[in-house]
Amino acid sequence: MTDPKAPRLCLVTGSEGTGKSLLLAWLIRHGTRPGTSVERRVHGFVPQAGQTALTTAWMLAQQLSIAARTPGELLAALAGDKRRIVIVLPDLHDASARDEVTELAHRLLDLEHVRLIIESRSGSSPQLEALPSAVMDLDAPQWTDATRHSEWVSSQAPQPTADEPQQTRAADPVDLNDPAAVCAAEPWLTTARYEQSGGSHGGLRAAWLRAGASLIQDQARADRAVTLRAALGDDADPRLAEQLAHLATGAAWRVSWSRVRGDITPPWPGPARAMAPGNGHLSGTLLVADHQDTVHLIGDADAAPAGRLPQPVSLPRDVAVRPDGTAILLDAHGQLVVQRSVTAPKPTGIAALLDNGSTPEQELLDVVSRHLNAFPGTALASHSTMIAVGDAGGTVHGFSTEEEGPRPHSFLLHQGAVTALAVVELPQSEAGSAVSLLYSGGADGRVRVWRGGADPLPAAVAERSVPVTALAVARTGTGLVLAIGWADGLVEHRILESAQVRTFRPGASVASLALTSGGQLVVGTNETLVCLQAT
């Protein structure tokens, strides 16, 4: 399948016992070895025995470093990445939902850069066999040496002992109403049973299918219980939250609160496209920007509604809050939008008469706005003496209040767009001046740090093969903490002084992160908003 003109579908067919699985195992082994050339690399493979379209999509997303909760999300992610992808699907005839997986295969083939190698019993997949394909029929004479194959199988097959049963007992059914059972069971089996079930199982089914892309990861029962608890809706059996919290004993995280799509007590604030902790009169709140141009204010202790910003902002890319509670945002065009909450205190008396808007704060905002007119922003961060913006070319610009007026300090830190920024102010030095640390994340999968008054460090703080989607940094009781969200759905919580790293996967793409004044980590996705406390 290295010839670009060759069919993008290869079917490996044959009857039982013709060695199809052996051939595919050899192909996968050699196609996934380190150093394999791009033309011969296998990027994803899912043995289809017992699988559905959903579990196939989850496993492929995991192997391709994509956050996808559904087959549709997987297809959308692959459509946006035009690099050549080879996927192998053995044993299609044994899939639990063969028609659904066949439909997924059809939709994958609609993507010009995707190649599929599918192994199936002869005649079991007429829909695929009707497509243009390269067919390798292992029943054909040129591929058949029955005598040598039988000798090889005999030499490899283990011989049963007198104490060994001749048949394998079917797997015990999972009690889908019991959180302890579903957290301990084989996750693929649990997923298939929830898909086939028509009941709500007290809310466990919806939570499992919402976070399943994370739950299938190899993990301890306690960690699986944390993720399942975080995905539980407010319409679930109220006993489940307590049961899952007990099962999560010993995990790295405890769920302080969570909100999922559809919650009404308190209401779900919507997809968290961008998020920031409040300052000034907004202290104790989180600003959450949704997909409908609204920026909600919610309590950081319980997500209770606390109002919203007065004016809608067109598809905000990022949000930050100045020390006095002024909200600054990047709109869909990368321009600066400044808003104050209707509850913000207003100057009175002589201060109101003398207020002509020409304060150092306003000068800083004006300079940033003029800069963004020429270089639209892709990411935004702020603290008391600095506003930082990143652009599509990989440059980070820091604007600080100085004696001669605000001026930018700019560094090219990333290949591709700057996707996330976070800034923190450290305690004053002996000389009395505050020091700021600016962290930037990019589409290149790197997190860089820049200390105010010095050049950026040459080495990345963190680096992976997937883009950074969100950053947050804060000084907490345990020291300086950096939180990183990655495009494959991984969240890292790093205590920088001790190099301790905790991880969490919500089961969906991470859109935003925030660290509260109490040191809690808030993770925002299109489906959930979860507040976690490190244990």
DSSP assignment of 297-337: EEETTT--EEEE-SS--SS-SEEEE-TTS-EEEE-TTS-EE
Side chain identity at 300, as an amino acid letter? D
pLDDT score for 1: 46
Closest to 92 in 3D by CA, of 137, 38, 43, 56:
56
Based on its alpha-carbon atoms, the radius of gyration of the chain, rounded to whole angstroms, reads: 27
Side chain identity at 33, as an amino acid letter? R
pLDDT tens, residue order, the chain (535 aa) = 445 556 788 888 876 654 555 566 666 776 677 767 766 788 998 988 889 999 999 999 999 999 999 999 999 999 988 889 999 998 898 898 899 999 999 999 999 999 999 988 877 778 888 888 888 776 666 555 566 556 655 655 555 444 444 443 445 678 999 999 999 999 988 998 999 898 999 999 999 999 999 999 999 999 999 999 999 999 999 999 999 999 999 999 999 999 999 999 999 999 999 999 999 999 999 999 999 999 999 999 999 999 999 999 999 999 999 999 999 999 999 999 999 866 666 656 555 555 555 788 888 999 999 999 999 999 999 998 889 999 999 999 999 876 566 778 899 999 999 999 999 988 765 555 668 899 999 999 999 999 877 889 999 999 999 999 999 999 988 889 999 999 999 999 999 988 899 999 999 999 999 999 889 999 999 999 999 999 9
pLDDT score for 170: 44
Closest to 366 in 3D by CA, of 333, 406, 394, 397:
406
Closest to 188 in 3D by CA, of 38, 86, 47, 296:
47
pLDDT score for 161: 47
| Residue 259 near residue 528 (C-beta atoms within 8 A) | yes
pLDDT score for 26: 61
pLDDT score for 167: 40
Beta bridge partners of 463: 446
Assign 461 to helix, strand or coil: coil
Number of Cβ within a 10 Å radius of residue 402: 12
Beta bridge partners of 338: 328
pLDDT score for 164: 41
pLDDT score for 165: 41
How is the chain split among helix, strand and coil, in percent rounded to 5?
25, 30, 45
Four-CA torsion 424, 429, 431, 435, nearest 10 degrees: -20
Strand order in the sheet with 253-260: 253-260, 528-534, 521-524, 512-515
pLDDT score for 241: 96
pLDDT score for 359: 82
pLDDT score for 168: 36
Rounded CA-CA distance 125/419 in Å is 43
N-terminal to C-terminal alpha carbon distance within the chain: 50
Rounded CA-CA distance 119/121 in Å is 7
